[in-house]
Structure 1
Amino acid sequence: MSAITGRPCDVNGVFLPPGAPPPPPENLAADDWTPFRNRTEFEMVEFLYKHNQMPAGQIDRLLDLWASTLTKHNDNPPFADHRDLYHVIDSSPFGDVPWQRFTVAYDGERLADEDKPWMDSEYEVWFHDPHEVARNMLANSTYANEIDYCPYREYSTEGNKRQWKDFMSGDWVWNQADEIAKDPSTLGSTFVPVILGSDKTTVSVGMGNNEYYPLYASIGNIHNNVRRAHRDGVAVIGFLAMPKTTQEHAEEPSFQRFRRQLFHLSLSKILDPLKPGMTTPEVTRFGDGHYRRVIYGLGPYIADYEEQVLLACIVRNWCPKCVANCEDLDEDALPHSREYTEALVEEAPSGDLWEDFGIVAQLVPFTNDFPRADIHQMISPDILHQLIKGAFKDHLVTWVEKYLRQTHNKRKAQKIMDDIDRR
């Protein structure tokens, strides 16, 4: 049995005896309107920002008129202008985690006569603190009865056969817990795997074909039905940069390397707040009212194949999960691993790595910055693109249709296809 058991503790991290009730909820004073000074300020902001959704210019005009009526009383309105109002809203300790941003620019070598636009550009990355997002999910009281605090293995009553249901019943999370338990200070903690996913998308309707690169996150502890419903079980934690350049430079190896490494650098920067809690347990309050000692880890990364190539730092048409040669994917092959890649990079010339092993030697996966993280183990298929659309629709359905057309005359084949469509 796993020693990462999710035992309740007090606010100082001291484990409670079995059956101990959670501490009572904190009672806020009836006149506490933090971050607003009083109820009038709160209701004014609620009306302007939420109900009326007043534009910034009109808020400024309203506050100016308000100020003119208070001048004779040597008084001021609650807010100086719309910026002051927005600042107070953003300072609230409640609600969604605020957005942050950082910029990245190329700082590598360049030739004396190189004049490439992408080398002089700055690229913005916007993100939510994933640590705070995960804590909010753990503290959500609506998940209290739909969350697992430790890995488990479930067996049927008939035949004692292994059963899988929610994420924490799987082998990967059990094995991760065994690794964590090697450190005695983590015993009794709750393992919180952070599940990631990303995929470029284009918003075309009324948006001028704008491209976005969202990064999603969830936690493995909540049950599948929570993640599939509109209950904040999956959150957008970032918008990654998408470097672009002129067609003249788009295919150059230096630009391709920069684009790929920017992706990994951005992920490492965004996920960095989780790193301290991956080795040292931190006390966190859960939706059932109990405190628990939490250990975070990077869980599966859900992505389609194009994204997997980028994540695993491999050459297209090679496998991100095993070391099979791209010309013979039916051979028995060992699993890909971080150790295997690092050993090859140390021993083999970069040209051989690309041609013979499908490895892009100049890139460093973001997972190298985090404990217990191996991108080849983390990669999980995108069910929509790779299974439903790729394997079933684009492969199986297309194959069946070709078979029918070769086996029957056109009319008969179409009749059978109509029957398949109806079903």
Structure 2
Amino acid sequence: MANYSMYSGATGKPSWALLPHGTWIDKVRERLGLSYSNSNELNQIIDEHLPGRPRFQRKEVVVEAAGEAFELYYRDIIQCIRSLFGDPEFAPVLVFAPERHYTDDDEVNREYSEMHTGTWWWSTQIKLEDEREGATIIPVIISTDKTQLTLFRNKTAYPIYLTIGNIPKDIRRKPSRRAQILLGYLPTTRLSQITSVTSRRRTLANLFHTCMSFVLAPLKTAGVDGLAMMSGDGVVRRCHPIFAIFAGDYPEQILVSCLKNGECPTCPIPHDELGSGTILGPRALLPIIDALDAMDDDPSEFTRACLDAGIKPIYHPFWYDLPYVNIYQSITPDVLHQLYQGLVKHLVAWLISAFGANEIDARCRRMPPNHGTRLFTKGISTLSRVSGQEHRDMCRVLLGLIVDLRLPNGASTVRLVRAVRSMLDFFYLAQYKVHTKRTLSDMDEALSNFHTNKSVFIDLGIRTQFNLPKLHNVGHYKQLIMRFGTTDNYSTQTTERLHIDFAKEAYEATNHKEEFAQMTIWLERLEKMTSHAAYIKWRLTGTSQLSNTTQASTPSLSSSSLSIQMTRNPSARGVELDDIALNYGAEDIRNALAIFIAKWKNTSLHGARLDVAAASINLPMRSLSVFHKIRFSASDQYDVHGEYSFTDVAHAKPASTSVSLQGRTTRAVSARFDTVLVDRGDGGIIGVKGYQVAQIRTIFLLSDSTCRDTFGLDTEWPSHLAYVEWFSPFSRTPHQDHFMYKVSREYRHGSRHASVIPVQNIKRSVMLFPKFGPVVDRSWTSDNVLEECETFYVNPFVDEHSYRTIK
């Protein structure tokens, strides 16, 4: 039997080889028509003959205080920008000029989405045009973040990522589109040989800024004078690459802005006023530049000047002489770390302290399942090392856990519930992909409501103050969104995802010795092979990745903004009507289907006349073909690219038994009948008017021939139908404190009100929060709570689409 061995290409050894008992297969190269006989020759071809992005370079940076030199791996930033700007993949979508978008003809309600719709690009364009007409701005977006490469050997990497604002945000945030470039690896030393903590921190900060200054230095003259650059469509423009955005978490923001920990990286508010809700204008840059100009003076004078200006004494910060840059207006919101890993973490801890872990966890275990919503079957109080995604999942159910709870001391929960609701509102509004003047006002109002009600946590003895930098920083979101576009333009979630490709996988490809030299070689080769594969695909098919992914798929059932997809084949064929009534809970399936057919034949029938007409209809079928799920795709109302922004699934399946792969064990699978939002005829894009909540019991199919021959229906027949049980209609206004709508089971003649409806009328799944009361009924479970509970609150926090619709 042949032996297969894997080797690391970064070490110069074969990256793959087929070695039958240590020998090469005879004439492999000739029979496969290869231009190389081993991986060394293949790597040489890749290195010398395939075009690619700029090569990595190595530079030693000497730290005199430590008496040691450190390695900086970097790329030419101008060549990297040329590579992105001139990539043919991006040519159809590149943006070359700022724009102002409005939702009204009077140009009052301005719209912000892509970076070129913000005020920064417009104002910078005016400054350049005043100097010399015909400038094309290339906004440079830089992000940095340390990441662990190993768990036990404590090895870290410090990558710098680069992208440009001319590329649309939906392309920039997808690693597969290759719109982000690894610009370099910064030194990761801890300088443990420097014993003084203060001196060590100052030296590390100076090392960071020295390396960044070297890497970004070419932007100084290029930003002012411009460079001739060719875009992917062959047009040459005078381009000005200008540093615009720095994206990073709070420690990185403090490091970049040369401030002390605990301060706001944007405005000069004192630390003990961070929790006041007061937002000041950005720090004045000129006094800081004047202080930095004293770097050539006596060190003590320089230190004193920096302290008077409110910054650390950092010699030559990297942004010091970059053109058109104010670093205190370039540090952007960080949704991942500021909201989910920051404020949500605090909020959950406060609620557990207020209500106790036992009742909170008991409610977690009894939430009904819903697509896209995680069930915390063990509660949330015992979770450790909670990820950003887990905090995001908590936000989806957090309000439903507390609406009926009582505080131990009998105090009113009104302020607490309002504080939680307003904070959740802010989280969801802050992540809108398109903002307007109105939605930005809503976001500010939500934050203001939190500050109005936050004192409840002080009254309960949970907090003594709210001087949290992350809480204060969210007050700057409105201005920064207006300046640079919505928060998905500069999300640090993209940075976290890039670590996998550019750091962790690259490290695993090395022999873990002098790894950065090997990592850069491995990455260069990977980029070249990826580009070559895209070129070959284009030569063979005439299409690119961009052209493929921007084309909308053809749905089976569709409306203007909704696509409903059903599987080609039913989940179960020939299910007896009695079995449907028993196993699916569709107890009134015969009568409901007869009423639907009668109504379809004569839309003017109502009430008693409809019941009489339905009674005369004879249902010849004894069984139906049923489906166990519906898949939805919907585009956002503001989605200018026409891509589906969310997918959703609604289930309607009976209990079953799952058998293991070996057939040795079986497992009971609970029934699941999801709740959905149904359009009663006049439902709109936003708001609950025209919609009603229902629970799907079964989804089935009647063929056109059956409907035509049996019922005499000449009109077009809906291909898929659903038997649903109704909940009460939405009230005119939601609850005055938590702003959720309350619905209850709807009954007719002592039984649950049920109907047959076309599947096309279903907009999406919807999650219901059970009205638990002060103490949750311990007999309820996640599987039976929809059947046992009668009253619910409609959850608007499943995703952005549901929030827009139900809030």
- Same fold per superposition (TM over 0.5): yes
Cα distance change on mapping 1:308 and 1:417 into 2, 3 Å = same
Following superposition of structure 1 onto structure 2, how do residues 72-83 of structure 1 map, counting pairs within 5 Å?
none
Matched, 1:216 2:161: yes
Q: 1:400 aligned to 346, 351, 359, which one?
A: 351
Contact 1:313 1:363 (C-alpha < 8 Å) held by counterparts: no
In structure 2, relative to structure 1, the CA distance for the partners of 1:91 and 1:332 (3 Å cut) is same
Residue pairs, 1:20-31, within 5 angstroms: none
Pick the aligned partner of 1:359 from 311, 323, 338.
Answer: 311
Which of 254, 277, 286 is the equivalent residue of 1:339? Answer: 286
The alpha-carbon distance between structure 1 residues 55 and 121, as it changes in their structure 2 partners (threshold 3 A), is: closer
Q: Which of 185, 195, 202 is the equivalent residue of 2:148?
A: 202
Residue number in structure 1 paired with 2:267 = 322
- Tell me the residue number matched to 2:139: 193
Measure, in 2, the Cα distance between the counterparts of 1:58 and 1:378: 45
Question: Which residue of structure 2 lines up, in the alignment, with residue 268 of structure 1?
Answer: 213
How many Å apart are 1:255 and its aligned residue?
A: 2.8
Name the stretch that deviates more: 365-374 or 293-302: 365-374
Q: Of residues 79, 93, 100 in structure 2, which corresponds to 1:146?
A: 93
Mean Cα deviation higher: 84-93 or 96-105: 84-93
Aligned residue identity for 1:232: R
Letter in 2 for 1:124: E
Distance 1:279 1:402 in 2: 55
Residues 412 and 125 of structure 1: CA distance in aligned 2, closer, same or farther (over 3 Å): same
Counterpart position of 1:105: 62
Percent identity reads 26
Work out the CA distance in 1 between the residues paired with 2:148 and 2:265.
Answer: 26
What's the CA shift for 1:209?
Answer: 3.4
Q: Deviation of residue 339 (structure 1)?
A: 0.9
Q: Secondary structure at the match of 1:372?
A: coil
- Which amino acid is the alignment partner of residue 363 of structure 2? I
Please give the alpha-carbon distance, in whole angstroms, between the structure 1 residues aligned to 2:142 and 2:161. Answer: 6
Aligned counterpart for 2:131 among listed residues 183, 196, 207: 183
Kept in 1: contact 2:125–2:135 (CA 8 A) = no
CA displacement at 1:371 relative to structure 2: 1.3
For residue 171 of structure 2, the aligned residue among 226, 230, 251 is 226
Q: Decide whether the 8 Å contact of 1:151 with 1:174 is kept in 2.
A: yes
SS of equivalent residue, structure 1 residue 105: strand
User: What is the CA-CA distance between 1:53 and the residue it aligns to?
Assistant: 5.5
Does the Cα contact within 8 Å between 1:199 and 1:214 map onto a contact in 2? yes
The CA distance in 1 between the partners of 2:171 and 2:279, in whole Å, is 38
SS in 1 for 2:123: helix
Mapped pair 1:371 → 2:371: no
1:250 deviation in Å? 4.4
**C-alpha spacing 1:337/1:363, structure 2 compared with 1 (3 Å):** farther
Give the residue type in structure 2 aligned to 1:96. Answer: R
Q: Deviations over 1:45-84 (max 9, x none)?
A: xxxxxx995973679xxxxxxxxxxxxxxxxxx99x9999
Q: Distance in 2 between matches of 1:297 and 1:376?
A: 15
Which residue identity lines up with residue 389 of structure 1 in the other structure? Answer: Q
**What's the counterpart of residue 309 of structure 1?**
254
CA distance in 2, matches of 1:357, 1:396: 35
Contact 1:244 1:250 in 2 (8 A): no
Tell me, what secondary structure is at the counterpart of 1:310?
helix
User: Is the Cα–Cα contact under 8 Å of residues 260 and 363 in structure 1 kept in the other structure?
Assistant: no
Q: What is the CA–CA distance in structure 2 between the aligned matches of 1:390 and 1:153, rounded to whole Å?
A: 33
2:223 maps to 278
Report deviation, 1:189.
2.1
Name which of 144, 167, 171 aligns with 2:119: 171
Which 10-residue stretch deviates more, 309-318 or 140-149? Answer: 140-149
Residue 340 of structure 1, CA deviation: 2.9
**Alignment partner for residue 12 of structure 2, among 51, 56, 63?**
56
Which 10-residue stretch deviates more, 410-419 or 145-154? 410-419
> What's the offset of the Cα at 1:346?
7.7
Q: Distance in 1 between matches of 2:324 and 2:158?
A: 26
Select the structure of larger CA radius of gyration.
2
1:273/1:343 CA distance change after superposition, 3 Å: closer
Q: Is the 8 A contact 2:254 2:265 kept in 1?
A: yes
Shift of the 291–244 alpha-carbon distance from structure 1 to 2, 3 Å rule, reads same
Question: Could you tell me how far apart the structure 2 residues matched to 1:364 and 1:103 are?
Answer: 18
Does the Cα contact within 8 Å between 2:205 and 2:255 map onto a contact in 1?
A: yes
Find the residue that maps to 1:249 and give its secondary structure.
Answer: coil
Alpha-carbon shift at residue 224 of structure 1 (Å):
0.9
1:173-230 residue CA offsets vs partner (Å, 9 max, x unmatched): 222212222212xx2221001100000000126x843200000110011101111221
The answer (yes or no) to whether the contact 2:216–2:318 under 8 Å persists in 1 is: no
Return the letter of the residue paired with 1:126: Y
Can you list the C-alpha shifts for 1:225-274, whole angstroms capped at 9, x where unaligned?
1112211111111100123333x634443332221111011011111233
Counterpart secondary structure, 2:324: coil
CA-to-aligned-CA distance 1:371-401 (integer Å, 9 cap, x gap): 112221211133211222212x312333333
CA distance 1:325–1:57, change in 2 (3 Å): closer
More relative contact order in 1 or in 2 (CA 8 Å, sep 6+)?
1
C-alpha deviation, 1:147, in angstroms: 1.9
Whether the 8 Å contact between 2:162 and 2:180 is mirrored in structure 1 is yes
Structure 2: 5+ residue stretches without partners: 1-6, 16-34, 295-300, 368-372, 376-396, 398-807
Question: Which AA in structure 1 matches 2:352?
Answer: E
Which runs of 5 or more residues in structure 1 are unaligned? Answer: 1-50, 60-77, 109-118
Does the CA-based 8 Å contact 1:318-1:358 persist in structure 2? no
Contact preservation (8 Å) 2:8, 2:14:
no
In structure 2, relative to structure 1, the CA distance for the partners of 1:53 and 1:312 (3 Å cut) is closer
Q: Structure 2 counterpart of 1:162, which letter? A: R
Name 2:341's counterpart in structure 1.
389
CA contact (8 A) 2:287 2:309 kept: no
Q: Secondary structure at the match of 2:217?
A: helix
User: Does the 8 Å contact 1:137/1:233 carry over to 2?
Assistant: yes
Please state if 1:295 is matched with 2:247. no
Q: Whole-Å Cα distance in 2 between the matches of residues 210 and 349 of structure 1? A: 35
Report deviation, 1:342.
3.3
Other-structure match for 2:668? none
Which amino acid in 1 is paired with 2:144?
A: S
Query: Given residue 367 of structure 1, which amino acid in structure 2 is its aligned partner?
Result: W
TM-score (norm 2): 0.38
Q: How many residues align?
A: 340
User: Deviations for 1:307-361, whole angstroms, at most 9, x for unmatched residues?
Assistant: 111111111111111111112223453311321323466899846864x764213
Cα deviation code 1:290-321 (max 9, x no counterpart): 22111110010001111111111111111111
Aligned pair in 2 of structure 1 residues 371, 54: CA closer, same or farther (>3 Å)?
closer
The structure-2 alpha-carbon separation of the partners of 1:176 and 1:400, relative to structure 1 and needing over 3 Å to count, comes to: farther
Distance 1:342 1:189, change over 3 A: closer
The 1-side partners of 2:358 and 2:198 are apart by 51
Residue identity opposite 2:58 in structure 1 = R
Return closer, same or farther for 1:404/1:175 CA change in 2, 3 Å cut-off.
farther
Name the SS for the 1:126 alignment partner. strand
